[in-house]
Structure 1
Amino acid sequence: MNLAVVLVSPKTPGNVGAAARAMLNMGASDLRVVAPRCDILDSQAVAMAVHAADLLRSAQIYGTLREALADRDLSVGTTARLRADLPAPRHPAQVRPLVRAAQAPALVFGPEETGLINSDLEQCQVSIRIPTGEYASLNLAQAVLLVCYEFMQAQDEVPEWTRKTASREEMEAMYGHLHETMHLIGYTDAVRARHTLRLWRAMLDRALMSSAESRLFRGLLRQVQWKVQDAATRGTVTTRQGKEVESEEQTAES
């Protein structure tokens, strides 16, 4: 997208540098600065730009907003305030289709202390307000980052997150393994087993396990079974099923 970011009369070089970095994060590269009140190539600006230093150095300087917008076919102003004699600002998502349909859109941000004045907003076809909490004042770079994200990275329809889950055969095998282990350690008995396993099924099915995760869970069950069987070889273990397991040493002594 041929998107220009226009900063009107910025005061602090660090803010300009940070705004350049925010642009680079979101894939914008056309920075325009109108009547800056600071040296936008000051060491502080370059330091805040980090890897966007080249973007900062290529920024164009203009005397007026009109000059900065001359080759743009859509200009979007930003404001945190309602203006009595201007249309109310819109949510950025509502304006996204307009920006994406434009050939050469521009986003316009005002000075740090005051934001855009009415005469600036009059030169913008539409204005937006970034939805915030009660305290609506954003740092310049924060505002640039959020609006550039909305117009360049956010999608109208978020792609569905897909994940390959274990097959039902894998899950049924795991539940059979779980059922055996619950009986072995006395976690349940024949009367309660079906209801107990149903609760476990409901919980584990919600997890949408992958094949690897079902194997991981069965690995735990195998370790539990081995531990019980190992203990059984060392002494007598009575399970909830009423089975007694004697060690070889005890059998030999008897």
Structure 2
Amino acid sequence: MKIRVLVAACVLSCVGMPVMAGELLVSAAASLTNAFKELATQYEAAHPGTKVLTSFGSSDVVLRQIVEGAPADVFASADQKAMDKAVDAKAVDPATRVDFARNEVVLVVPAGNPRGIASLDDLKRAGVTRIALGNPASVPVGRYTQAALEKAGAWETVKAHEILGQNVRQVLSYVERGEVDAGFVYATDAAVMKDKVKVVQAIESPVPVSYPVALVRRAGRAPEAADFLAFLLSAEGRAVLARHGFAEP
């Protein structure tokens, strides 16, 4: 089946547009979509008059848009490398940087598992020709995947059949629709589609799958930004993250 090309939507299309009073702009990794939407709802309920606007995408892409002028108050990344880039670009306040969650990479297949894949070893089987993963050049889950597969001695096998996604949710979509034989996503994303994809193996990553967050450094940053960060790190915030499958940092 031919892979349908997905055109990545601009997750921060409001570059140059004014930010309204009472608006808090949170830009985050795609894998945080469900958890951060719930966090936003809870925060708004506790802070009448504040509207939390969320946008999601590959951490590298979100950061690039912030650097290019897209307004944001909080940046949450799916790996340390993207946050390191944010610090180097002076896009965030490094004094506010903190790790807030952990995740893991898993090998998933379509729910019916037509190729009968049960482990990394089965990816070498004849007939397995399409394996989806995030683009390591720009997607944290792809970087974690490459490092894990290199450690396991399976990178060349996967690379020979790779279908690259522009964020983890695109990879998940490829697997869910049966357009690939297998894919590598975060455990939390697999749980979102547990009726459409099957986890067959957790992949040990030599680099911890940790999520850092920081306040964006910009004139006019929403005064609520620091309070939202405190909420994220609070018992209430951690409870939301736990409900969506994220572990303590």
TM-score of the two chains, using structure 1 as the length reference: 0.25
TM-score (normalizing by structure 2): 0.25
Higher strand share: 2
Higher Cα Rg, which structure: 1
Higher relative contact order (CA 8 A, sep 6+): 2
Q: Higher helix share goes to which structure?
A: 1
